[in-house]
A and B are shown apart, each in its own frame.
Chain A
Amino acid sequence: MGPPPNERGPGMSETGDVAAARLSAADYGKNFGDVKPPLDRARALVEASRCHFCYDAPCIAACPTGIDIPGFIRKIGTDNVKGAAVTILEQNIFGGSCARVCPTEILCERACVRSAQEGKPVKIGALQRYATDDLLARGIQPFRRAAATGRRVAVVGAGPAGLACAHRLSMLGHDVAVFEAKTKPGGLNEYGIAAYKLTDDFAQREVAYVLSLGGIALSCGKALGRDIELAGLRRDYDAVFLGLGLGGVNALGLDGEAMKGVEDAVAYIERLRQAPDKAKLPVGRRVVVIGGGNTAIDAAVQSKRLGAEDVTIVYRRGPEQMSATAHEQEFAQTSGVGIKHWARPVAIVGRDGMLTEVRFEYTKLDPAGRLVGAGGGFALRADMLFKAIGQVFVPAPLGDGTAEPLRLSQGKIGVDAERRTSLSKVWAGGDCVAGGQDLTVSAVEDGKRAALSIDRALRKGA
């Protein structure tokens, strides 16, 4: 991937080696290009022919948005690619990004009967990309808005949950106003997902495609709790959907977290995603990542791809407990990232305010199943430390002083099966609600379900 590390001689400073431009331009291009290149027609047809067209297919049940998978694959097989794309998008308007970012190995492809038959599922994700890319490239918007209802709905957050909700509401004839705090829409598709999964500005192209339906007014730079208030939205609109995502991150709770070189993984990834030239992004020579989820994997692999020499993920439990899938863990390892299990950080060490080392103690489960120190430990020299130990919901923007506050559950917004919150006229979905899977695809399903529920409520009230 990068130039051989031995090119950097002993003369290099021993710590604090955080530098940009570690690689050649060609290497950056390669490292941040499409991690899974698209199928061409010939490959798509071969793959499509592997689908048995199962009855009441198990893969459909395993897709959070319930896409008719055998239905769309059969259409690919007959060169009805537009029909295939519509079959996908009518259940999941973010079918294009889901095709790229879904952990299919724990979703549809895990349920595919071809796994039982020959240990190799149909490549549903790749076929989904083949179909949706075609429609996006041709700029065909297959959906029409129903007759105008005259109802207005406010959506807060232009991530997958918010925009999926907005799209469905607009299709159903409602006018939608979307408020987004950041300067660009897309949520984590734009700011969080690993760069090599969504290349070529795909997040923005997809959002533009979703909005091309019409009936959705997007206002960026408008934050709930700063520029707009929930009470006002409830007053001015017929319904409100909250798709706020997770605004905060967990802290390690150690001294030295403010030291130079210690970074929040999500914030770093956001900078990386927004950097037009990856060569300008400084990265440590030795990187340590703490955490066990996809964010940890993504921070580690992307550091490696930026040219870091040693990248180690340290997780306090075993591989089975990591929320990153086995496939993701393997991907990290084949990308040259080391993973250490059963250890947790106990001290961040630096010199002159600059990180030099992270110290860990071994961990184990005590007889009661609690995580405890196991005695002994190790230290890792580090130029950069990424914290990736979980994101948290920040409820502050909701606190608008209304008499009835929004009920939280496990620190997130509590919703019922239709994604209704405890407040009348307010729905919520995506990462910000309790009990979710924290995946793009489940955010889309939440948005869709909420839209259908809002539609029912508005029609009843009409």
Chain B
Amino acid sequence: MADLRCSFAGIKSPNPFWLASAPPTDKEYNVVRAFKAGWGGAVWKTLGEAGPPVVNVTSRYGAIEVGGQRMVGFNNIELITDRPLEVNLREIKQVKRDWPDRALVVSLMVPCAEDAWKTILAVVEDTGCDGVELNFGCPHGMSERGMGSAVGQVPEYIEMVTRWCKQHTRMPVLVKLTPNVTNILGPARAARRGGADAVSLINTVNSITNVDLDRMAPMPTVDGKGTHGGYCGPAVKPIALFMVAEIARDPECAGMPISGIGGIATWRDAAEYLALGAGSVQVCTAAMHYGFKIVDDMIDGLGNWMDEKGHGDLSAIVGRAVPNLTDWQHLNLNYQLVARIDQAKCIKCGLCHIACEDTSHQAIRDIRADGQRRFEVIDAECVGCNLCMHACPVPGCIDMVEVKTGKPHLDWTRHPNNLLRKAAE
């Protein structure tokens, strides 16, 4: 079986599957259950300053259901841990002592003042944990108090706080980024300049999941009112993958480890993150949906897939897809695909036809003969967009096959229609 051991910014874990800082990691009880289930690491639920803890509202989560699939998207208006600092520190120390082989990182969020960070870092270091993660991402509640994404949206603050932390602790410092920015490279580069050992992303996306149309209030609704929350779960995976990949291929961030987070529920999701440059992955929603047992298939599935592909360890896959991520202008305009319907698998639902007919290129014919329905691609009209393949409810029924054009690679930078093209050498 492939070696799944993970070494991330100097933090070791038996596998790359960590629980993200969130309710699943808010207590010793939960984290111990997770470790028993096989999770490789955990980022403890974000700690705040000493003193009276934050107070949470009731009615905290919203969710999107799609076609019967629950929690495709999930949102929350919870704050950082609402338990006293001392209790958390005591439990962290105990868990690390009992589970020395697991990665235990502690997430932190205190006001933007050097002393505040210095103070908390000292007490956290004392727990013996493996590292800290600076929560610059939480987009609701705490951000109104000048913390979380209020910091994460200002690269200068990120750099400043990261530098303070690097000065005041020997522990590896991970900086957790918010996706609520126009360009993720600003915050990522700032973290690097500040000396971060790694970044983790994404935190949640600003969101309102639904509106209660009887009460005319956003959900989750608290006594008739709602507030925007943080969005996560399978629906955010594409956004997060993009941001991870952008950092992975950025020369200024080269070599900086990335912990990938956002919508990971299966070993395949995780493998995609690893391929696009993540060195470890973190999971929250999937665990909150199904419990900790899901890690079993994550470990097993990733290992089996790596064995099949002959990948011996994680270094063989991390970042492997990054070189194939490019700008649009470098894509080959002479590459041609055409849709192929496997008539033996086709159930004659006509969804491919209506999708192409109404909204695309009128490239799928609706044929009625002898009382039978039949749908056929008109090759000359098909632009190879993939729409029909995605609309078809039968897996593997529509294939996109390459048509050999015999033409050489030609991208936009050299295309005759591009008036700004570079002259051919």
Residues of A within 8 A of B (CB): 45-46, 49, 52-58, 77, 113-114, 116-117
A411 to B373: give the CA distance in the assembly, Å. 37
Given the complex, which residues of A lie within 8 Å of B67, measured CB to CB?
A: 49, 77
Measured CA separation A127–B111 after assembly (Å): 56
Q: Which of A55, A116, A117 contacts B354 (CB 8 A)?
A: A55
Known: A52-B393, A113-B349. 16 other contacts (CB 8 A): A45-B68, A46-B68, A49-B68, A55-B350, A55-B353, A55-B354, A55-B366, A56-B354, A56-B366, A57-B349, A77-B67, A116-B347, A116-B348, A117-B347, A117-B393, A117-B394
Count of CB-CB pairs between chains A and B under 8 Å: 34
Segment 322-361 of B: residues with Cβ below 8 Å from A: 347-351, 353-354
Q: Which residue of A lies closest to B66 (CB)?
A: A49
- Residue numbers of B with Cβ under 8 A of A are 67-68, 347-351, 353-354, 366, 373, 393-394
Shortest B98–chain A CB gap in Å is 42
Q: Write the chain B residue with the least CB distance to A54.
A: B349
A48 → B minimal CB distance (Å) = 9
CB distance from A190 to the nearest CB of B (A): 36
What is the interface of chain B mostly: helix, strand, loop, or mixed?
loop
Chain B residue with minimal CB distance to A115? B347
CB distance from B295 to the nearest CB of A (A): 28
Contact of A58 with B348 at beta-carbon distance under 8 Å, contacts A52-B393, A117-B393, A117-B394 already known: yes
Given contacts A49-B68, A117-B393, contact A54 B351 (CB under 8 A): yes
- Residue of A45, A52, A114, A117 touching B351 (CB-CB under 8 A): A52
Query: Top 3 nearest A-B pairs by Cβ distance?
Result: A55-B350, A55-B354, A49-B68
Q: Which of A52, A53, A55, A58 neighbours the largest number of chain B CB atoms within 10 Å of its CB?
A: A55
Chain A min CB distance to B377 (Å)? 15
Give the Cβ gap from B202 to chain A, nearest Cβ, in Å. 29
B64: min CB distance to chain A, Å: 14
Nearest Cβ on chain A to B297's Cβ, whole angstroms: 24
Which B residues touch A45, using CB under 8 A?
68
Whether B351 and A53, one on each chain, are in contact in the complex, defined by CB atoms closer than 8 angstroms, is: yes
Partner of B350, one of A46, A56, A116, A117: A56
Chain A residue nearest in CB terms to B350: A55
- Flag if B347 contacts A113 (CB, 8 Å): yes
| Interface pair B68/A55, CB less than 8 Å apart | no
Q: Which residues of chain A are near B349, meaning CB under 8 Å?
A: 52, 54-55, 57, 113
A77, B66: Cα distance in complex, Å: 10
CB distance from A56 to the nearest CB of B (A): 6
For this complex, 11 residue pairs linking A to B, each with C-beta atoms less than 8 Å apart, are A55-B349, A55-B350, A55-B351, A55-B354, A55-B366, A56-B350, A58-B373, A113-B349, A116-B347, A116-B348, A117-B347
Complex Cα gap A361–B348 (Å): 47
**CB of A51 to closest CB in B, whole Å:** 10
Task: Tell whether A113 pairs with B348 under 8 Å between CB atoms, given A46-B68, A49-B67, A55-B353.
Answer: yes
Specify which chain B residues have a CB less than 8 angstroms from the CB of A114 in the assembled complex: 347
Chain A residue at minimal CB-CB distance from B65: A45
Q: Could you tell me the distance between the alpha carbons of A113 and B392 in the complex, rounded to whole angstroms?
A: 12
Q: Which residues of A contact B351 (CB under 8 A)?
A: 52-55
Q: How far is the CA of A116 from the CA of B350 in the complex (A)?
A: 13
The minimal Cβ–Cβ distance linking B393 to chain A, given in whole angstroms, is: 5
CB nearest to B67 among chain A residues: A49
Task: Collect the chain A residues with CB atoms within 8 Å of residue B394's CB.
Answer: 117
Chain A residues lying within 8 Å of B354, measured Cβ to Cβ, are 55-56
Complex Cα gap A117–B351 (Å): 14
Q: Which residues of chain A are within 8 angstroms of B348 by Cβ–Cβ distance?
A: 58, 113, 116
Please, how many angstroms separate the alpha-carbon atoms of A56 and B354 in the complex?
Answer: 9
Q: Looking across the interface, which residue of chain B has its beta carbon closest to that of A53?
A: B351
B165 to chain A, nearest CB (A): 48
Distance, CA A53 to CA B358, complexed state (A): 15
**A46 to chain B: which residues have CB within 8 Å?**
68
Residues of A within 8 A of B350 (CB): 54-57
How long is the Cα–Cα vector from A114 to B351 in the complex, in angstroms?
13
Chain B residue at minimum C-beta to C-beta distance from A42: B68
